[in-house]
Chains A and B, each alone.
Chain A
Amino acid sequence: MRSICLYFQVHQPFRLRTYRFFNIGAEHNYFDDFQNRQIIKRVADKCYLPANKMMLDLIKEYGSAFKVTFSISGTAIEQLQQHAPEVIQGFQKLARTGCVEFLAETYAHSLASQGNSEEFIDQVKQHSDTIEQLFGKRPKTFRNTELIYSDAIGEMVADMGFNTMITEGAKHILGWKSPNYMYCNSRNPKLKLLLRNNRLSDDIAFRFSTVEWPEWPLTAEKFTGWLNAIESREEVVNVFIDYETIGERQWKETGIFDFFKALPKSVMSNSDFRFATPSELTDVLQPVAQMHVPFPISWADEERDLTSWLGNELQDEAFSKLYSLNDKIRKISDPSILKDWNYLQTSDHFYYMCTKWFSHGTVYKYFNPYPSPYEAFINYMNVLSDFMIRVDNALLMEAAIAPAPKAVRKKAAEKAPKTVRTKPKTTTGTLVEEEHVVKSSKILSAKKVAEKSAKATVKAPKEKATEKLFSSLNVEDIITLSDAKVKKIIKSMEIETVSAAMKGAKKEVREKVEKNLGKRALKTYHELLKQIKTIHESEIKKSRKLFEKQIKALIK
């Protein structure tokens, strides 16, 4: 008995709206809601709904003899939930039959496996959570975006606890070998690999309605005949295609629905092939060999590599800029930023920047909202520029809230109600209260907070007597102060001022300051110290003065 595995990919990206450079810093809605809604509704009507119904009917008719597998990207799930919830309900119905397996993938249908392993793992987890929550079962089989696979990716996936992964049966990897067996990862043989039979898959996905194709029209009987022609020792035929093939890319009029309706009966009665899901195959099949894939492969185009998404200057710049944000993002909790971070990673954005089509002259395989890759790039970079600003601002916010000493925050909180009504009288009061007002309103960034408080101090009434009293005070005196006080002083100033004031200071003084800096501030501080030589002497004097003023204000 041999097996055929039918697996369908369901994916829709959040497409970007036309976002001009003058929107940067001003507008943060990046997505073309109207177009996205229209497309998801259209595809639901033409494909998802009727195809789901067809699958359910087939399962009702043939019982557990008919099996089918899906992977639905997180961005597709969100859009379906919003605009076509009946499609999700349809998938849930299918899940309840027990004849359907749902796979794991990256939540955003992203290229994170190429960008950042930490992010990759997070996204897979996020997607598995979503699938488990919706369909009641945690996926055990993994498919990466566009079936991208390499030895390293496989190893990561195995480490995450998956026992099976599906990928492309790329000719340049397999050579004389057949895709119709179970293989395994070369670094961790526990991870089993199912390979896409690209000839039979593409016959349906791309050639089905091509009248010039000598095999046109393709019928279930003909397809079964091809299955029978496969050498009898070969164990499994994997037909992996986009779900949108049914009804959207191959219109209903081409007979695509009739083909799938007739397929189970034809296969079951005229061949020794039986339908199976990846998990079932993993239980019964043993790997025949390791597969060595040092460089990533995918299911795309003739090349079966990543050149549709990465490799040209546009894609590489956009991609590296995007993933350069990874470390910052990890410190941010703002849900709107995390959401956009997800959506911006979707592989389609990079696909639109592909320039291969210029030389090939072939039409885009998928719907492309841009007239040329250049427009796609500019639009994406405009959005990304704004996103980067937001990330930096959010970081400052987090930094402003997080490392501030509890005492100060508490004190400020107590004083807050007063601030609204009464005008502050003392210098210290001004400092703390202003800071709090700004924080609670969450409008100004931490940088501005620091500027403001610094200004407030400078503007403070200059009492000659006090000046005299403290005239002997200098930066070095902070050694005598408590850590909490030092923190407070530092917090009231720009990090640039602090760094400049530290030039030529004694070792003990520097250490005192350094141990009271936040993690992020410390990093900036060290960077600034490196450039200290370029700073003008007068600036340093000014910084020291400001520093001293803050000390005096506090002691007073």
Chain B
Amino acid sequence: MRVLMFGWEFPPHITGGLGTACFGLVKGLTKQGVEVIFVVPKAYGDESKEGFRLVNASDMVMDFTNVKYQEHWNRIKFLEIGSNLIPYVGPEDFERLKEEEKLQVTSEGQSVFSERYQFSGKYGINLMEEVSRYALVASVIAQQNTYDVIHAHDWLTYPAGIAAKKISGKPLVVHVHATEFDRSGENVNQTVYNLEREGMEEADLVITVSHLTRQIVIERYGIDPEKVITVHNAVEPVDRPEFNEVRKHLKEKVVTFLGRVTFQKGPDYFIEAAYKVLQKDPDVRFVMAGSGDLLNKMIRRAAQLHIGTKFHFTGFLKGAEVDTMFALSDVYVMPSVSEPFGISPLEAMRSNVPVVISKQSGVSEVLKHALKVDFWDIDALADAIYGLLHYEGLKKMFIRYGKEEVDNLKWDNAAGEVLAVYNQAQTLVH
């Protein structure tokens, strides 16, 4: 079987869990004997490409005099509207991105209608423009290749998926890693919502990363439950013994929050719980690693509570820094208000760090050896943290069972389920 897959990012150039998940899935599929053509807006050349083709949309040459493309463009160009949308990016980053893009655009002077379009592949101010151009390029790629199934990851690539389906008539599977409700709460961006819904409606089958997300897809997007299938994410089994050697310079135990500091991740609940724990036991340090639009507010709150000497902010961490952070941690906390899946607790458990996760996360559906609390229940959250720090038996249990549990959440298994979805999609079309 051959799959034409549309993604937005690919390791090592990632901003969130999407790229990591795509990478794991592609590797798993390749092991199952599936050929994957993976299309990204912009390839940097240093991506790992074991056993599959990575297509750089920025390399595609398009002739706009071709009538067919013009028709297609007419159909999708409404996407240009409302292009100030920048998900996943904090205020400082937004300023920086805007500056960068201004520079780029003026120097290269490129337009959407030039023969070659240099995608940024980021979530910048020209995002909508890029999404529509990406869809256009997709139609070219769709025509030039042969494949059995089209698979599109998240709304950014849904127009591309739809375009490819229109051209080839092959079944389309869209993969929902997150919905607009997870990203923006109730203040949804209508353009994005419409794109998401169109993608799900046009798709022959919809894959969601958790039952939680499946429920949102059914209830908020009105999609037929019959065609929505949950395939839980997995995690790459990586052993990095060098991080076991990381020296701890602090005598206190460390409790870590790692992720974007945004409303949906619940950083405020983490601070309030930290305050409760510190009142009882001052020999603990709390770390908030990551950045986001709530970061300044969080710093202010920590100061207000007078826990500044015990509560630390690291800013955005990536790559090896993340692993070092895990190696330094005694407890990992993910108090997300809304989390379609949430792969980071699995990474923490892989490093033998016990985790506390919110019941409002997809990952809580697959984990047994984790403490689960309601995100709003600060008392329960604080209690779970305190328990993990003070009662040795708990830690021992987590180390004994947690790693084993995570190691069993293999992408190979998830890929097997995705393959079953492909097969089902094919029967639907024929």
Contact = CB atoms under 8 A, between A and B. Distances in A.
The answer to whether A binds B is yes
Interface of A: 20-22, 24, 312-318, 355, 358, 371-372, 374-375, 377-378, 381-382, 385
| Chain B interface residue bracket vs A | 20 to 34
B295 to A, nearest CB: 28
A317 B391 contact: yes
Given A21-B387, A22-B279, A314 B382 contact: no
A317 B371 CA distance: 18
Contacts of A24: 280
A313 B384 CA distance: 17
A320 to B, nearest CB: 9
Given A21-B386, A372-B372, A355 B397 contact: yes
A313 B393 contact: yes
A307 to B, nearest CB: 14
Contacts of B279: 22
B387 A382 contact: yes
A316 B394 CA distance: 11
A21 B382 contact: yes
Query: Which residue, A355, A377, A378, A381, has most C-beta atoms of chain B within 10 A?
Result: A378
A-B pairs with lowest CB-CB distance, top 7: A317-B393, A378-B387, A21-B386, A313-B396, A313-B393, A314-B393, A381-B391
A381 B392 CA distance: 10
B371 A374 contact: yes
A378 B372 contact: no
Contacts of B371: 372, 374-375, 378
Contacts of B369: 358, 374
Given A313-B400, A316-B393, A372-B372, A377 B280 contact: no
A329 B133 CA distance: 77
B59 interface: no
B368 A358 contact: yes
B372 A377 contact: no
Nearest to B396: A313
A355 B394 CA distance: 12
Interface in B176-193: none
A21 B383 contact: yes
A450 to B, nearest CB: 26
A103 B379 CA distance: 44
B276 interface: yes
Contacts, number: 68
A137 B29 CA distance: 73
Given A21-B280, A22-B382, A312-B397, A378 B368 contact: no
Main secondary structure of the interface of A (DSSP, over half): helix
A317 B383 contact: no
A387 B279 CA distance: 20
B390 interface: yes
B276 A22 contact: yes
B263 interface: no
Nearest to A375: B371
B383 A382 contact: yes
A368 B199 CA distance: 44
Contact of A378 (B276, B280, B384): B384
B401 A378 contact: no
Nearest to A385: B390
17 contacts: A20-B380, A21-B277, A21-B383, A21-B390, A22-B280, A22-B379, A24-B280, A313-B393, A314-B393, A314-B394, A355-B401, A372-B371, A374-B369, A374-B397, A377-B393, A378-B391, A382-B387
A378 B382 contact: no
Contacts of B392: 313, 317
A495 B390 CA distance: 29
Nearest to A353: B393
Interface in B364-418: 368-369, 371-372, 379-380, 382-384, 386-387, 390-394, 396-397, 400-401
Nearest to A21: B386
A431 B165 CA distance: 93
Contacts of A358: 368-369, 401
Contact of B393 (A22, A318, A372): A318
A490 B356 CA distance: 50
Nearest to B384: A378
Main secondary structure of the interface of B (DSSP, over half): helix
B383 A378 contact: yes
Interface of B: 276-277, 279-280, 368-369, 371-372, 379-380, 382-384, 386-387, 390-394, 396-397, 400-401
Contacts of A315: 393
A355 B400 CA distance: 12
A355 to B, nearest CB: 7
Query: Which residue, B371, B387, B393, B401, has most C-beta atoms of chain A within 10 A?
Result: B393
Nearest to A315: B393
Given A21-B383, A314-B397, A374-B371, 11 more contacts: A21-B382, A21-B386, A21-B387, A22-B280, A312-B397, A313-B393, A317-B396, A358-B369, A372-B371, A374-B387, A381-B391
Nearest to B385: A21
Contact of B390 (A20, A372, A381): A381
B393 to A, nearest CB: 3
B276 to A, nearest CB: 6
A377 B400 contact: no
Nearest to B388: A378
A313 B393 CA distance: 5
A20 B277 CA distance: 11
A313 B388 CA distance: 13
B260 to A, nearest CB: 27
Contacts of B276: 22
Contacts of B400: 313
Contacts of A381: 387, 390-391, 393
Contacts of A317: 391-393, 396
A378 B394 contact: yes
A377 B391 CA distance: 9
Contacts of B382: 20-22
A372 B357 CA distance: 14
A288 to B, nearest CB: 43
Nearest to B397: A313
B368 A377 contact: no
A82 to B, nearest CB: 29
A385 B382 CA distance: 16
Nearest to A24: B280
A22 B383 CA distance: 8
B393 A20 contact: no
Contacts of A385: 390
A21 B277 CA distance: 8
Query: Which residue, B280, B372, B390, B397, has most C-beta atoms of chain A within 10 A?
Result: B397
A422 B276 CA distance: 44
A522 to B, nearest CB: 31
Contacts of B390: 21, 381, 385
Query: Which residue, A374, A377, A382, has most C-beta atoms of chain B within 10 A?
Result: A374
Contact of B379 (A20, A312, A378): A20
A316 B391 CA distance: 12
Nearest to B281: A21
A358 to B, nearest CB: 5
A20 B394 contact: no
A167 B180 CA distance: 61
A358 B384 CA distance: 20
A27 B179 CA distance: 44
A22 B277 CA distance: 8
A463 to B, nearest CB: 42
A378 B280 CA distance: 16
A315 B392 CA distance: 11
B109 to A, nearest CB: 60
B353 to A, nearest CB: 15
A385 B281 CA distance: 13
B396 to A, nearest CB: 4
